[in-house]
Amino acid sequence: MGAGMNEVRLDQDIEILRLEKWLDYASGIDESVYVALPVIQRGSVWKPKQIIDLWDSLLRGMPMGSLMYSPMPANILVRKVGGQVLEKAKAGTIGLIDGQQRTLAMLIAWNHAGERMDRRIWVDFSDKPGDENLFRFHVTTKNQPFGFQKASPSTKLPLGERRDARLKFEATHGRTDLSQQFIFENATPHHSKCPLDVRELIELWRVGKGNPALWIQNVQQMVKRFYNGQFSTTELSQIESTVSKFAAALDRLFQLNVPLIKVDLDFFSGDEAAALTEESNDPPLAILFKRIGTGGTPLSDADYVYSVIKHRIPEAYTLVEELHRPGNIARLLSATDLVMTAVRLGAAEFSGAVSKLLTDWESPNKQDFHRLIKQPGFLVNGFLPLIKTDALAQAFAALGVLLEYQKDTNPIGIPSHAFPLLSRPLVQVLLRWVRIVQRSHPVDLGAVLFESRAEVLRFVMYWQLCVIDPRKASLLAFEVLASTKPEAGFPGSEIYRVFLNKEVAVPVLSPAWIEETKRDVAFSPADLTRLRGGTRFDARQATKEEKTVIDLYQRWWGNGRTYVHPLLLWLQRETVAGFDGSPVAGRDEDTPYDYDHICPANHWSNWTGEKRTDTLLSFLAEGDKEGHWRVGNSIGNIRVWQSEKNRSDGAAAPSKKLELDNPETRSALLAQSSIDAAQIAGWTDCSGERSWNETRVQAFQKVVEQRAFALYERFYTELGFLEWSATSA
């Protein structure tokens, strides 16, 4: 075994391989070794800062740690790392156990793979690097084609900066009707004067066979297109120096070696279940990963369940691949969430089939899982039938059709961009019911589900607002569904009553009941010119009925600490359904939309104003220190707005942002923002530059209250919660 060997020998337990050769294998440039998806697959997806940090380490010549793999059985369907096509494994195929995220992050800048991925990494030779980096790196994605903030590489650019970047891009290309893919392929990071794609720089190095002088000469020619008189003589000298430093960094990169450690298949054998005792929660495979894997990161329960199942039942290896095909709602759950869901559904169905009640684990740990697979026949007769056919894929597909918003056929549906916000406990409840119907109505599944569509959507949106303990609520819902007859329809109201009885959720209340019981929680006294914060929800002197109203409306209004209100994705569903981009589980920093303050935060947050006496902080209610945050971040002052096509100035007053003085254009903006025409006067009155007075303060609080309550009225009415009136006020 020689250091830095150019080929991997699968008969070695530990092999030292050039990093360059490993990436050639993983990318498919060298097809002599096929690198497949890992046997253990982590559920997380690396964020831009993690990608930048890894590349910075590599270019410093730092070791990246070891990779672990195991030989794959012949003829099993696999997918190459970073690829999309399923094919039968050939002799010599290896499954990557530890190192998937690192490998994918490196392939972003590697030819043959990088061009197929939805992320790019750039280096700006004209900019100073961050405190911890050798160079100034940027990451761009398909949903964020102009990149992220320099000071916080995993945080989206502010709305105004994204607007500026988009307008400049459109001006350069002379058109506005540009596809998302075109923008991603042709845009460069915002605030970057001399950006070059690292993949192009690496390929140029390889074409020149690692000749630094030739590479520097070629790159100097590439950067000249950015000059245009924008750099001083000193800056040009700095660029040349940085290019030379990058050449030295690439030389270090191509000298790096990576240890490949082969994992014995015995670690996946059934014997490891015997090694799991009350004294040790970690079986040998998990201990191996924890001690040898990157940074000693422990293997999560979900990752462990996924790994063991895929070894014990090879058919499970392709489960995620099938479910993650475009168009299936299942792709909005992570791989591990999908497998955990399949395990739970399999246990529930197996329990009913053998008339033996198995414990229902919403999130089984390693011990719970091994107790489950020790049940005679579970894997073969419970889990395998569920995944070996396309039953689960069909169930997911049917659920997606049932839920997804369609203007003409499903007007109260949920836009696909909101699907990733549906939690695993909720999705499992819905799938449990779909499977109950599917097993008795395999031919007319869609028609039977359609009869309960309104009840299902009502239940989903109720869960989003009112459920306090999702895990316990999911367990209770499974208990109800265990005795549900397929022809009875979805038992939403029955589950609702159980939730209230077990106190895992708050009741949904009619708007009229809220006004009659505790009107001041929604509307301030007419003569109040001060902002209310926590005092709005003060329950110390409240009756039991009033406390119920307070609990519900505080969840609706928001806690003031965040301006993220996912329910707006449904309330603005017609607008959101038209957004570009693909929703992806686990990529919350990469959504194609934003939560936008209608009255901008820089008008009211902290000491914003023209002088100390005219800031919003000067008009807080007595005993309230957070009124500006509670009102400013309320659902009444937030709209969902598309990142890519945002044309509004984030600092503009509401009257300008909504074009309230232009009747021809304001109607569309108001409708898209879910703002009633009756609120036009309120948003006009609270508009201004920075200065605040009693009149503007009162108008701001009043219009936010009006919109928040109007949105709740729509939520209650359009979802038909009156159907649950027997169990709500």
Flag whether 131 is in a domain: no
Judge if 700 and 633 occupy the same domain: yes
- Poorest-pLDDT segment among 2-6, 173-177, 461-465: 2-6
Judge if 524 and 653 occupy the same domain: yes
Judge if 317 and 402 occupy the same domain: yes
Last residue of a domain, one of 502, 527, 547: 502
Flag whether 129 is in a domain: no
b/e 472-485 (16+ beta carbons within 10 angstroms → b): bbbbbbbebbeebe
Judge if 306 and 379 occupy the same domain: yes
Flag whether 558 is in a domain: yes
Token digits of residue 75: 């003829």
Identify the pLDDT of residue 127.
93
Judge if 599 and 542 occupy the same domain: yes
- Per the structure, the complete domain to which residue 380 belongs is given by 297-502
Percent of the chain with pLDDT over 90: 49
Identify the pLDDT of residue 357.
58
Flag whether 657 is in a domain: yes
Average pLDDT score over residue span 136-163: 89
Identify the pLDDT of residue 295.
47
Judge if 496 and 515 occupy the same domain: no
Give residues with Cβ within 8 angstroms of 636, minimum separation 6: 557, 703, 704, 705, 706, 707, 708, 709, 711
Judge if 338 and 450 occupy the same domain: yes
How would residue 242 be classed by pLDDT, with cut points 50, 70 and 90?
very high
3-state secondary structure of 79: strand
Flag whether 277 is in a domain: no
The predicted model scores a pTM of 0.75
Last residue of a domain, one of 461, 482, 502: 502
Last residue of a domain, one of 471, 502, 533: 502
- DSSP per-residue codes, 573-592: HHHHTT--S---TT-GGG-S
Candidates 45, 452, 83, 69; CA nearest to 265 is: 69
Judge if 476 and 611 occupy the same domain: no
Asked whether the predicted pLDDT for residue 206 surpasses 90, the reply is yes
Identify the pLDDT of residue 167.
85
What is the enclosing helix (H) or strand (E) of 110? none
Average pLDDT score over residue span 310-334: 65
CA 283/CA 267 separation, integer angstroms: 9
Judge if 405 and 457 occupy the same domain: yes
Identify the pLDDT of residue 301.
74
Flag whether 235 is in a domain: no
pLDDT digits (tens, 9 = 90+) for 49-68: 999 999 999 999 998 888 88
Flag whether 220 is in a domain: no
Of residues 422 and 70, more confidence is placed in 422
For 75-132, where are the alpha helices, taking DSSP H only?
A: 100-107
Judge if 486 and 521 occupy the same domain: no
Judge if 532 and 389 occupy the same domain: no
Judge if 556 and 588 occupy the same domain: yes
- The angle subtended at Cα 585 by Cα 401 and Cα 437, nearest 5°, is 30
When divided into structural domains, the chain yields a total of 2
CA 50/CA 581 separation, integer angstroms: 23
Flag whether 469 is in a domain: yes
